[in-house]
Amino acid sequence: MTSRSRKTTIWERPLRIAILEILEKKGGRITERELINKLMEQYKSVSKHEIYAELMHLEINKLVYVDSSTPSNKVIELLTAKRWFKAMGGTE
């Protein structure tokens, strides 16, 4: 049995904040493909796994909604811009 070490990447600006900023600039809705392309332009070393982990974190904290009614191209929707501080671990 081999043990996998989890690679943690540290950026100057957190990935989840970049996701929220992109969503706000796009009027609150963006396709998954477009979001991934924009993030890969900004963060050259980001993996899809890291992007999905951040999206899951944002969805659990009710900051975004991921509509998977069309699995080939999901739509990510910003729920509320006033709660961005929760993305960084804040509480209400």
Residue 21 domain-assigned?
A: yes
If you average pLDDT over every residue of the chain, what do you get? 81
Residue 23 domain-assigned?
A: yes
Q: Count other Cβ atoms within 10 Å, centred on residue 28.
A: 14
Residue 61 domain-assigned?
A: yes
Residue 8 domain-assigned?
A: no
Task: Note the pLDDT of residue 14.
Answer: 87
What does the angle CA 84 – CA 19 – CA 67 come to, to the nearest 5 degrees?
95
What does the angle CA 34 – CA 67 – CA 40 come to, to the nearest 5 degrees?
25
Q: Count other Cβ atoms within 10 Å, centred on residue 68.
A: 11
The encoded tokens of residue 23 equal: 């969503």
Check whether 8 has a pLDDT greater than 80: no
Task: Note the pLDDT of residue 3.
Answer: 45
Domain count, the chain: 1
Residue 54 domain-assigned?
A: yes
Residue 40 domain-assigned?
A: yes
Domain of 52, in residue numbers: 15-80
Residue 86 domain-assigned?
A: no
Q: What is the pLDDT of residues 9-44, one digit of tens each?
A: 555 778 999 999 999 999 999 999 999 999 999 988
Identify whether the C-beta of residue 68 lies closer than 8 Å to the C-beta of residue 83.
Answer: no
- Mean pLDDT for 63-83 is 82
Length of the chain: 92
**At 24, which amino acid appears?**
E
pTM of the model: 0.75
The count of C-alpha atoms lying within 13 angstroms of the C-alpha of 72, restricted to the half-sphere facing its C-beta, is: 0
Residue 46 domain-assigned?
A: yes
Task: Note the pLDDT of residue 90.
Answer: 56
pLDDT band at 84 (very low <50, low <70, confident <90, very high): low
CATH of the domain at 55: 1.10.10.10
